């Protein structure tokens, strides 16, 4: 069997790998863009399959596929087309999408890649020859009916991003939140020293500290929802420039309705197709929420890394699971590798946000953004990195965290900030003088107060009660 077959498009003959489901236009793009070796992420390909299914369903229900236009299909052919769309949406043909991310800025090459694969697979489902030059199901006339790359490709980006946030990122964030909540409850009685400016501050409970982390994750999950909501309006129905040329007036609404039913997300037709086709502001807003989530995750991981520093010359207030040797030269050294992994992943997401912002600002010239494949790649990379790194951190670090109660409590009595609770009794100036004297002498605040008889013992015991200092006092 030959390694290649010859296919034709409007520009002439092209050699295509013999068994490929794609055709001439895909192959031209493969040859034209030998850029990064990175193809569109599978989430995007599957979203494109789902969008094509929704478009096919709308065209079927509107009578467009079986109507009196050029090369109408019969019912069996329509069902084969929809079945092929389903298979692409289910990931069964992920290997048939070889085009580099850095391609034509509209995504036309990838849109045609999807159209060709669906058309050829539908022909095969019907028992026909998918290699035949005459396409009984045509990639443009049937699969792409009522559509332009300019409205369906950004629609697929929105679908892929929203679904991936809903199915992977939010569950990961909520799982992390739940683990931190549990640790906060378990450690609520453990008193430790607080730190501001990396300097000793007043006491708090380890549970309170981790409760703060849990709240950060709760807010991050809410930001995930806001990011999802930002991409629920879909451009589909606007076709080339937002006018809806060559499509039915009800097409966009019907496609959005099918996508909502298929995903369980509240997709709607864009309120203004000229805005929706030309601009990617919703995606910029969405990724801004992803950036905020990345900032939170970086912060929490870094705080846990500091709290686990040691084991003898750091804070060591929490113990992290020992996962792997930490040094090629220092025997026995163990590093906070999961914190570092999460911090690196989130740093990449913060960088990705700059690429998204540039593409949103500079890419949208007049009626079309011309950086959409990169937008899809970067946005989905960010979501995947956040979800995967969070899941790994929870599984291999957060779940196994242990409190080192001895280390937590040892520093409390030594803290000069214990003097803060004396302010209501002796005033700020005298309390500051006590702190300086305690530091100079090496004595604790309690010892110095007793020596100088600053307060009666019962008042001193109440004022310097570390547990009492972790809550407001009337």
Reported as type and span, the H/E element at residue 90 is none
pLDDT (tens digit, 9 = 90+) per residue, 206-260? 999 999 999 999 999 999 999 999 999 999 999 999 999 999 999 999 999 999 9
Average pLDDT of every residue of the chain: 96
pLDDT (tens digit, 9 = 90+) per residue, 364-394? 789 999 999 999 999 999 999 999 999 999 9
For residue 140, the tally of other CB atoms under 10 A from its CB is: 16
User: Which residue in the list 109, 327, 417, 421 is annotated as catalytic?
Assistant: 327
Q: Which residues contact 109 (CB under 8 A, 6 or more apart)?
A: 25, 26, 28, 29, 33, 99, 103
pLDDT (tens digit, 9 = 90+) per residue, 415-454? 999 999 999 999 999 999 999 999 999 999 999 999 999 9
Cis before residue 294, ω within 30 degrees of 0? no
Residue 387 CA to chain centroid, in angstroms? 6
CA distance 407 to 397: 19
In this prediction, residue 66 carries a pLDDT of: 94
Quick one: pLDDT band at residue 1, thresholds 50, 70, 90? low
Quick one: pLDDT band at residue 184, thresholds 50, 70, 90? very high
DSSP-assigned beta bridge partners for residue 454: none
Quick one: pLDDT band at residue 8, thresholds 50, 70, 90? confident
Options 1.20.140.10, 3.40.630.30, 1.20.200.10, 3.30.1330.90; which CATH number does 159-240+264-407 get? 1.20.200.10
Residue with tokens 């914190």: 339
The answer to whether residue 327 is catalytic is yes
| Confidence (pTM) | 0.96
CA distances from 373 to 12, 87, 154, 165, 270 (A): 26, 22, 9, 18, 20
Within 301-417, strands assigned E span: 318-319, 364-365, 368-369, 402-403
In this prediction, residue 263 carries a pLDDT of: 98
pLDDT (tens digit, 9 = 90+) per residue, 315-374? 999 999 999 999 899 999 999 999 999 999 999 999 999 999 999 998 778 999 999 999
Tokens representing residue 90 in the block: 């289910």
Q: CATH classification of 4-145 is 1.10.275.10, yes or no? A: yes
Q: 41: which DSSP letter? A: P
Are 297 and 389 in contact, with CB atoms under 8 Å apart? yes
DSSP-assigned beta bridge partners for residue 94: none
Would you say residue 67 has pLDDT above 80? yes
CA distances from 250 to 42, 85, 256 (A): 30, 21, 10
Are 59 and 87 in contact, with CB atoms under 8 Å apart? no
Residue with tokens 């378990």: 186
Are 277 and 157 in contact, with CB atoms under 8 Å apart? no
In this prediction, residues 38-42 reach a mean pLDDT of 97
Within 227-320, strands assigned E span: 233-234, 268-269, 318-319
How many Å is the Cα radius of gyration of the chain? 30
User: Which residue in the list 109, 197, 220, 248 is annotated as catalytic?
Assistant: 197
In this prediction, residues 118-128 reach a mean pLDDT of 97
Tokens representing residue 220 in the block: 């991050």
Domain boundaries, the chain: 4-145, 159-240+264-407, 413-470
The answer to whether residue 382 is catalytic is no
Q: Which residues contact 435 (CB under 8 A, 6 or more apart)?
A: 416, 417, 419, 445
The CATH number of the structural domain formed by 413-470 is 1.10.40.30
Would you say residue 52 has pLDDT above 80? yes
């Amino acid at each position: 069997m030959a390694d290649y077959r010859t296919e034709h498009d409007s520009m002439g003959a092209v050699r295509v790998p013999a068994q490929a489901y794609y055709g001439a236009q895909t192959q031209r793009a493969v040859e034209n863009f030998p850029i990064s070796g990175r193809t569109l992420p599978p989430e995007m390909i599957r979203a494109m399959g789902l969008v094509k299914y929704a478009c096919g369903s709308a065209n079927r229900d509107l009578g467009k596929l079986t109507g009196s236009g050029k090369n109408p299909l019969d019912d069996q052919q329509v069902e084969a087309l929809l079945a092929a769309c389903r298979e692409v949406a289910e990931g069964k043909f992920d290997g048939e999408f070889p085009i580099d991310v850095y391609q034509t800025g509209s995504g036309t090459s990838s849109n045609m890649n999807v159209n060709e694969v669906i058309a050829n697979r539908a022909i095969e489902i019907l028992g026909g020859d998918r290699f035949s030059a005459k396409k009984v199901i045509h990639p443009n006339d049937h699969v792409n009916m009522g559509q332009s790359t300019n409205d369906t490709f950004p629609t697929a980006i929105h679908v892929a991003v929203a679904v991936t946030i809903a199915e992977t990122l939010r569950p990961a964030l909520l799982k992390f939140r739940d683990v931190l909540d549990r640790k906060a409850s378990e450690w609520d009685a453990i008193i430790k020293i607080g730190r501001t400016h990396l300097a000793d501050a007043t006491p708090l409970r380890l549970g309170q500290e981790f409760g703060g982390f849990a709240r950060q994750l709760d807010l991050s999950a809410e930001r995930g929802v806001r990011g999802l909501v930002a991409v629920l309006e879909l451009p589909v129905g606007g076709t080339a420039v937002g006018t809806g040329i060559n499509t039915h007036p009800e097409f966009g609404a019907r496609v959005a309705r099918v996508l909502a039913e298929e995903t369980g997300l509240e997709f709607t037709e864009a309120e203004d197709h000229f805005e929706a086709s030309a601009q990617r502001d919703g995606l910029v807003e969405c990724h801004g929420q992803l950036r905020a989530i990345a900032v939170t995750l970086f912060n929490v991981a870094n705080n846990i890394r500091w709290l686990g520093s040691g084991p003898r010359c750091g804070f060591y207030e929490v113990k992290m699971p020992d996962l792997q040797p930490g040094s090629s030269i220092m025997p026995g050294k163990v590093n906070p590798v999961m914190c570092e992994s999460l911090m690196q992943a989130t740093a990449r997401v913060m960088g990705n946000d700059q690429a998204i912002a540039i593409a949103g600002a500079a890419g949208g010239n007049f009626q079309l953004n011309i950086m959409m494949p990169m937008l899809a790649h970067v946005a989905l990379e960010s979501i995947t990195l956040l979800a995967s790194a969070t899941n790994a951190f929870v599984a291999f670090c957060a779940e196994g965290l242990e409190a080192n109660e001895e280390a937590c409590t040892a520093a409390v009595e030594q803290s000069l900030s214990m003097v803060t609770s004396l302010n209501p009794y002796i005033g700020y100036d005298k309390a500051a003088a006590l702190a300086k004297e305690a530091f100079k002498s090496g004595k604790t605040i309690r010892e110095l107060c007793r020596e100088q008889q600053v307060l009666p013992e019962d008042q001193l015991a109440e004022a310097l009660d570390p547990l009492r200092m972790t809550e407001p006092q009337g």
